[in-house]
Amino acid sequence: MLVWMGVVLAQSAGPVGVGFAEAVALGGDSAAQVVIARSRSREVQARRDEIAGARLPKLELDGSQVYRSYNFLTGGIAFPGMEPRVPFYSIQEVKAKASMPVLSFELSDRIRETERSIVLRNREADQVREAARFQAGAAWIELARAQALLSDRKAGLELSRELGRITDDQHRVGAATGLDMVRAEGQMLQAERACSLAEQVREKAASALAALLGISAMDSVHALGGLPLEAGAATGIVADTASAQVLAARAGLDLARTSEESSRHARIPRIGVAADYGISGRHLADDGEWVGSVGVFATWEIWDGGAERSRREQARERVLQAARSLSQARRDAAQNLSESRRTVDLVARALELSKRVCAMADSELVLSRQRFEGGASGNLEVVQAQASRNQAHAAWIESAAAYQVAVLRLRWIAGDWRGL
């Protein structure tokens, strides 16, 4: 019978065994695209902190020394009895300054927008992480399939070698012909070639999984544990209230609405306070005097050439786009979930059929070998039965891998990773 996926093959020194749940977890945490998405989220958080800092008092300490002259005639001023040119003089000044916005809807709106952006980036990171989990799980299943196929090809090679030994024994006693010997040798060559090809596929799958999980390609990676070759892994999978795709689209709509609201506050006056205090004079040590000022400032933009109106129109269009994207995301999520469930059911039936075909091929091989060993036929029936057996087992392994990928995709779409 088929060697199960759970059988761990002998590897080179220092193999790295990775279980399915571990591969899914590592793929969702260490994949390059996930790390980048999280970095973008932290970048927006830092921007929010930068904008929020503008609401706090700003303190400065200024010091200067200016050596200059002045010509009143440059400004069109002439004082009777005075020379138009003031000779060079020195001004020294040291002041502490403080300022703080008191009322600024623009600043508050920018903070709200960055907070919505943080939510959006987090949702996008969740969406990327879910996709990375699926990719890592699919790569693990591919490696498990390649290992199972390699194990089965090695079992087929052993069957071919056993057929060669039986044929040789039959040939010695005259019960087998030279043609039977040629057939047995050809069967062994084909089995060895199949093993070589399966080994290449296995190494390629191991490299792909190692790359997704961030494991050194120099290590020998194998799928530890294996997935069952039976249907039933889809039981108990329940769809989440909203997929990562829907949550990201909803966060995008919230951000667009916040931006639209902010565009309506752009014309509101901005009010703040400022104060400074310090010492000023031609020479601070001789004639320096303590001076200061306290004031309130207000800025009100009356007309900007229509730019503010254009920004409002852009914001309204972004809201419409985000609302349409959310609606489409919800429809896609529902459709994908329904299609995924149907795919799991269809592949499960195909898996059961391939299992029955595999059992029939095994029975045919046993009966054909009994006939050959009893001298009732040549080994042609055995060679054909072994070929049928290899095809049936390969189809069973492919069906099992397809079923597990279908279940994995259902988990991805449903957002349910329990029971891994």
Question: What is the mean pLDDT of the segment spanning 252-278?
Answer: 87
CA quadruple 45, 49, 51, 54: dihedral, nearest 10 = 180
For the stretch 282-339, pLDDT in tens is 888 788 889 999 999 888 878 777 777 888 899 899 999 999 999 999 999 899 989 9
Domain shared by 395 and 296, yes or no: no
Q: Two tokens at 420?
A: 């891994």
- Look up the domain containing 64 and give its range: 58-102+269-300
Residue 342 pairs in a beta bridge with: none
Query: What does the mean pLDDT of the chain come to?
Result: 85
Say whether both 89 and 222 belong to one domain.
Answer: no
Hey, how many other C-beta atoms are within 10 angstroms of the C-beta on 67? 9
Tokens (6 digits) for 390 = 């290899």
Which tokens in the block code for residue 126? 């969740």
Write the CATH number for 81: 2.20.200.10
Residue 116 phi, psi dihedral angles, 5° rounding: -65, -35
| Pair 333, 380 in one domain | yes
pLDDT at 11: 33
Is there a single domain that holds both residue 199 and residue 117?
yes
134 and 73 fall within a common domain: no
Q: What is the pLDDT of residue 297?
A: 83
273 and 244 fall within a common domain: no
Q: What is the pLDDT of residues 205-240, one digit of tens each?
A: 999 998 888 877 556 788 877 666 777 666 677 776
Residues 29 and 128 in one domain: yes
Q: Render the burial of 91-114: b for 16+ CB within 10 Å, e for the rest.
A: ebbebebeeebeebbbbbbbbbbb
Give the CA count within 13 Å in the CB-facing half-sphere of 355: 14
Residue 5: band (very low, low, confident or very high) from pLDDT cuts 50, 70, 90: very low
Based on the fold, state whether residues 94 and 153 are members of the same structural domain.
no
What average pLDDT does this structure show over 274-282? 90
Task: Reply yes or no on whether the pLDDT at 12 is more than 50.
Answer: no
User: CA-CA distance, 246 to 95, in Å (whole number)?
Assistant: 55
pLDDT in the model for residue 228: 66
CA 164-166-168 angle, to 5 degrees, is 70
CATH number at residue 113: 1.20.1600.10
**210 and 235 inside one domain:** yes
Stretch among 137-151, 220-234, 241-255, 355-369 having the lowest mean pLDDT: 220-234
Which residue blocks in 1-97 are alpha helix, DSSP H? 20-30, 32-53
Q: Which of 50-59, 125-134, 210-219, 354-363 has the lowest mean pLDDT?
A: 210-219
In this prediction, residue 241 carries a pLDDT of 65
Q: Is residue 5 part of a domain?
A: no
Tell me the pLDDT tens digit for each residue of 86-110.
888 888 899 999 988 888 888 888 8
**DSSP H or E run through 221:** strand 220-223
Express each pLDDT in 120-170 by its tens digit. 999 999 999 999 999 999 999 999 999 999 999 999 999 999 989 988 888
Q: Are residues 70 and 190 in the same domain?
A: no
Determine the pLDDT at residue 227. Answer: 62
SS3 88: strand
